[in-house]
Chains A and B, each alone.
Chain A
């Protein structure tokens, strides 16, 4: 069964304004790492929020494992937003307990091991962490789940190059063949090496969905070069 299906998905924030998503159709299969790429305002974050049930589409629908977003889909989706979303007064250990309480697929031991590897003391209060460390903690929590679909919105935007390598390694080593990972990012060159497939979004529509290998063989260019060419200002 297709893991994710979007049918004629449309989202307009205000009447009269341009739609953030404009009749978007999309099918995603299992076992792939997919780059969701597009310029600012192309609808990447809106799409991810709708899949997570954080926004309601104006028209069309999204199906995860054949079901509309709901309690069942949330059991199988691990989501990393593009902002700090954890209660900043909590200690990291408390947040780990919180995830353990609510997600049956959360591996507490894996989370604590990764935090230790990153030299992050779980007794620290979340608000006391630097922006980069907060992002690392959030990624560790998300990747410590054994989800079917990981939705990572700008996972490497705010961290240094060394941390980026760690994050990409973490992504690669913590997903199964049954799962897919969608990475929304502007930093294409950094993630290109781990991507199986790319989706180009523009003005709320899919303009390209292709395997990375096909882009390289057909166009003789990298995904980064192709992106720059397609979205040249």
Chain B
């Protein structure tokens, strides 16, 4: 049954997300095309180029947020809205219902991430030497590769942390909505408040971890930075980057913590929908 649920979920999500990602591709190609052609004249340099640049930034940064919003909205409308009357009376387990939401959501998040990175690289290359944008993008990439010989383990650790972070955001949204549905009124507002409540709490805990690491570790040898949007992507970066093994270990540790939190969110959500379902 899980495969059938997933099939229907991909169809439902694809209705919106295919369009959004097509927009990303088209805007990226447009931006890259302008960078390659380098059209002359005030009309282009004063109007078209700034407009396309702004549009590009809005789209490339917005697509990830919109994807998260769409998968969260889909979870709410399909399970906790009127459609839940059908979904929760199907002869399938609650776990399958959540997994069937999570697997396509995660897949779309990966597609979104890969497309966004590819877009940034292509646009940066197309605009090389012609604008501040290209300079900034390329310097960012250069900085990454100035680490020298980047080990495979480090790259794998970075990718793992990125995906664990995505899973964490999605499952945190599911948990917030599963908690929000316990109320008889104002469920959406409550769900959003719970989401940001969990987010802020984890940020706070993350800062405490950072402070402890900063106190314990010799300040001259270790520069502590918060990378990413939530507490479990707290990464202690060795400065300079001369110990990639340590860095990979820290990244994998952060990944494990993030995955641990995600698994906890999943099972709490499942239990809430199993024991405390409150479809009005």
Give CA–CA (A56, B90) in the complex, Å.
17
Interface residue from A53, A83, A86 paired with B88 (Cβ < 8 Å): A53
Ranked nearest first, the 4 interchain pairs of A and B with the lowest CB-CB distance are A85-B85, A74-B91, A54-B279, A81-B85
Tell me the residues in window 95-120 of chain A with beta carbons closer than 8 Å to chain B beta carbons.
98, 101-103
Tell me the residues in window 13-38 of chain B with beta carbons closer than 8 Å to chain A beta carbons.
15
Q: Is the interface of A mostly helix, strand, loop or mixed?
A: loop
- A79: chain B residues at CB < 8 Å are 85, 89
Q: Quick check: B184 and A13 within 8 Å, CB to CB? A: yes
Give CA–CA (A56, B12) in the complex, Å.
29
- B90: chain A residues at CB < 8 Å are 74, 102-103
Judge if A52 is at the interface, Cβ distance under 8 Å: yes
Give CA–CA (A56, B277) in the complex, Å.
7
Judge if A127 is at the interface, Cβ distance under 8 Å: no
Q: What is the total number of residues of chain A having a CB less than 8 Å from a CB of chain B?
A: 25
CB distance from A153 to the nearest CB of B (A): 10
Judge if B1 is at the interface, Cβ distance under 8 Å: yes
Interface residue from A55, A74, A101 paired with B278 (Cβ < 8 Å): A55
- B122: chain A residues at CB < 8 Å are none
- A102: chain B residues at CB < 8 Å are 1, 4, 90-92
Judge if A223 is at the interface, Cβ distance under 8 Å: no
Interface CB pairs A-B, < 8 A, 30: A13-B184, A14-B184, A52-B88, A53-B89, A54-B84, A54-B277, A54-B279, A55-B277, A55-B278, A55-B279, A56-B276, A56-B278, A72-B91, A74-B91, A75-B91, A77-B89, A79-B89, A83-B85, A85-B83, A85-B85, A85-B86, A86-B83, A89-B15, A98-B8, A101-B4, A101-B8, A102-B4, A102-B91, A102-B92, A103-B90
Interface residue from A49, A53, A72, A85 paired with B82 (Cβ < 8 Å): A85
- B86: chain A residues at CB < 8 Å are 85-86
Judge if B78 is at the interface, Cβ distance under 8 Å: yes
- B279: chain A residues at CB < 8 Å are 49, 54-55
- A55: chain B residues at CB < 8 Å are 277-279
A71-B92, A74-B90, A98-B8 given; A84·B82 CB < 8 A: yes
Tell me the residues in window 251-280 of chain B with beta carbons closer than 8 Å to chain A beta carbons.
275-279
Q: Quick check: A74 and B89 within 8 Å, CB to CB? A: yes
Judge if B201 is at the interface, Cβ distance under 8 Å: no
A14-B184, A87-B12, A101-B4 given; A54·B85 CB < 8 A: yes
Give CA–CA (A1, B195) in the complex, Å.
47
Q: Is the interface of B mostly helix, strand, loop or mixed?
A: loop
Judge if B93 is at the interface, Cβ distance under 8 Å: yes
Residues in B lying within 8 Å of A, measured CB to CB: 1, 4, 8, 12, 15, 78, 82-86, 88-93, 184, 275-279
CB distance from B242 to the nearest CB of A (A): 55
CB distance from A200 to the nearest CB of B (A): 25
A83-B82, A87-B83, A102-B1 given; A52·B184 CB < 8 A: no
Give CA–CA (A77, B90) in the complex, Å.
10
Interface residue from B4, B78, B91, B276 paired with A87 (Cβ < 8 Å): B78
CB distance from A127 to the nearest CB of B (A): 12
CB distance from B169 to the nearest CB of A (A): 25
CB distance from A121 to the nearest CB of B (A): 21
Best-surrounded residue of A14, A54, A72, A89 (most CB of chain B within 10 A): A54
CB distance from A20 to the nearest CB of B (A): 12
Q: Quick check: A53 and B91 within 8 Å, CB to CB? A: no
- A84: chain B residues at CB < 8 Å are 82
- A85: chain B residues at CB < 8 Å are 82-86
Give CA–CA (A55, B15) in the complex, Å.
31
CB distance from B12 to the nearest CB of A (A): 7
- B1: chain A residues at CB < 8 Å are 102
- A75: chain B residues at CB < 8 Å are 91
Interface string of A38-58 (1 = CB under 8 A from B): 000000000001001111100
Q: Quick check: B4 and A52 within 8 Å, CB to CB? A: no
Give CA–CA (A81, B88) in the complex, Å.
12
CB distance from B71 to the nearest CB of A (A): 16
Best-surrounded residue of A49, A72, A77, A79 (most CB of chain B within 10 A): A49
Give CA–CA (A70, B62) in the complex, Å.
41
- A13: chain B residues at CB < 8 Å are 184
- A72: chain B residues at CB < 8 Å are 91
- B84: chain A residues at CB < 8 Å are 54, 85
| Closest A residue by C-beta to B8 | A98
Q: Quick check: A52 and B83 within 8 Å, CB to CB? A: no
| Closest B residue by C-beta to A104 | B91
